Chain A
Amino acid sequence: MSEHLPILVVLIPLFCALLIFLAGVFQKRAAWAIASLATFLAFAASVKLLALATAGGRISYRLGGWEPPWGIEYVVDYLSGYVLTIISFIAFMIAVFSRDYVKKQVGLDREVNFYAIYLLLITGLLGMIVTGDIFNLYVFLEIASLAGYALVAVGKKKGAIVASYNYLILGTIGAVFVLLGIGHLYMVTGTLNMADLRGLLPGLYHSKVVLTAFAFFVIGFGLKFALFPLHTWLLSAHSLAPSAVSSILAAAVLKVNVYALIRVMFTVYTPEFIYNVVPLAEIFFIIAPVAILAGSIMAIAQTNIKRMLAYSSIGQIGYITLGLALANETALTGSLIHILNHALMKGGLFLIAGCIIYQTDIYDISRLKGMGRKMPVTMAAFTICGLSMIGVPLTVGFISKWYLALGVLEAGRWYFIPLILVSSLLTAVYFWRVIEWAYFHKAASEEALPGRKIAEAPVLMLIPIGIIALFCLIFGTAAFIPEEFARRAAEFLLGGI
């Protein structure tokens, strides 16, 4: 059966989504259990696939039994195995978290559809990761996008629908741009298979069609993962969605779109093209620092905790693009670890925000007074994820920044070092504010919420948060684990197939 794993990892959530919907006509209770089980199975399959790819290299699966490039191919290699494992893990954690949260914040009557759409979102994301066919990538991109738009609109605040609509319009522009890019490539090569494109393109690198296609890919995926000047939709979408959804959007959806761009950059095109033919690195060298600084500074200015987290995502995306632009293995390793990193930290932080909102309905940072004593587990997890976000040693956040800094020096661009330091400092400022309110201010005699005692969230919400925080520490101390996988993937990307 293990030879069919690449397709099964996508089919499991798909079938379970259908099952939830079918079962939901009669029985509404089963939805959460099925969703958790499905994401767990997908995670188990991903781990197995990662192990297989690490042991045996590239795994190819021919859908319909047709040889590529005539049929569609699924490919699991170091990079896709690595990202697959991260995304399915986070999806599992968020699914477990959702039980009580969704019941309260979304409502029983919409629960069935919520979980069905959640699993379809996961189907789309996993499909995007394993596919080796560029048009298939577009199809799964649209599955994930549509599900994402609807999930944002579930948010309780009325602005959520408008946020969802804006997300839809900009997301669709991004998707259509990607479609245009695919069309341009198909026009001059006649193929849609990524490996085949890689073989055919080098002779055409200076063709205006191929150059234009690349520009459309960068802008299209850039819109999807909120590359700096294209980030406007992100703030309202991530801050007004239900926290479980914000978490999956920040931890998984952004990351998979970054992954898709990396795929296009390194598998469809080659390092030779992106670093020598087009001025992509030069453009990213301008965009990334602005994104890092602007994201951090704007995060400091926020009073709403979810908006603060949303702004910080923009800065973190800046780090990833900086690593991509530096064009050496160390920096690329840093970028890939940062994908893991940000998935854990931001996924965890949004879930923690969800816990606080679930228990207290507090969005305002200054009202978190004394929360450290009332919700000790939640705030401890927050502190760990926050420290990791700052990049304190012994947390996973430190590892990626360390690699990025090494990569910066290796590329001879030392002037980015102060940037990394300053932005870490700024990050410290906005996280410290929360920690300070939570631990060093006495709760002013329950004045925040009269007549209600604040306690920890239900256990099923605390467990995923605890596990995520634990992983932040484990990967920070046993740094060789993420390092090993990321380095292999980076080597593989830069060295070619």
Chain B
Amino acid sequence: MMIELIQGKYVYWFYITLMMIGFYAMIAKGNLIKKIIGLNIFQTAVFLFYISIAVSEGSTAPIMLAESYGSLDAGTVTYTNPLPHVLILTAIVVGVSVTAVALALVIRIYKTYGTIDEDRIARLEQESP
């Protein structure tokens, strides 16, 4: 029972661990680029979760095998569920877009304040708003 539980779920626990590492970096790190690195870890961990939804044992990649081209049905082969893959393709693009905008902001912040440390920026902002 216990072993079954662990066998069935350990991948999920890995992704949760990864997510929490990224999440922690996002909210606890003072360095603005570190936050973005955390953001990337967080997002890819969520992607991993989506991909792991699709996994089913004994299936093959969701591209029709060449031998079943002629017959219009998918045949006897079982293919992996392609839908989560599509969703994650979209989400990866969204992820890199957010990263790009965030980095552009960090570059501007460094130009303005000469630091990318959250506490220092807060202090500078207090001293001369």
Contacts and interface: CB of A to CB of B under 8 A. Distances in A.
A146 B49 CA distance: 24
B46 to A, nearest CB: 6
Given A157-B129, A180-B49, A172 B98 contact: yes
25 contacts: A138-B91, A142-B94, A142-B97, A142-B98, A146-B101, A149-B101, A158-B113, A159-B129, A161-B105, A161-B108, A162-B121, A165-B102, A165-B105, A165-B109, A168-B98, A169-B102, A173-B23, A176-B42, A176-B43, A179-B91, A180-B46, A186-B53, A186-B84, A186-B87, A192-B87
Interface string A153-178: 10001110110110011001100100
A422 interface: no
B7 interface: no
Given A169-B39, A186-B84, A162 B109 contact: yes
B35 A169 contact: yes
B101 to A, nearest CB: 6
Given A162-B125, A179-B91, A183-B50, A146 B109 contact: no
Given A180-B49, A183-B46, A186-B84, A158 B101 contact: no
A172 B105 contact: no
Nearest to A153: B105
B26 to A, nearest CB: 6
A201 interface: no
B76 interface: no
B90 interface: yes
Nearest to A159: B125
Interface of A: 135, 138-139, 142, 146, 149-150, 153, 157-159, 161-162, 164-165, 168-169, 172-173, 176, 179-180, 183, 186-187, 192
Contacts of A146: 97-98, 101
Contacts of B27: 173
B112 interface: yes
B106 interface: yes
B110 to A, nearest CB: 10
Given A157-B129, A169-B35, A164 B42 contact: no
Contacts of A135: 87, 90
Contacts of B50: 183, 186
Nearest to A304: B129
A169 B28 CA distance: 12
Contacts of A165: 32, 102, 105-106, 109
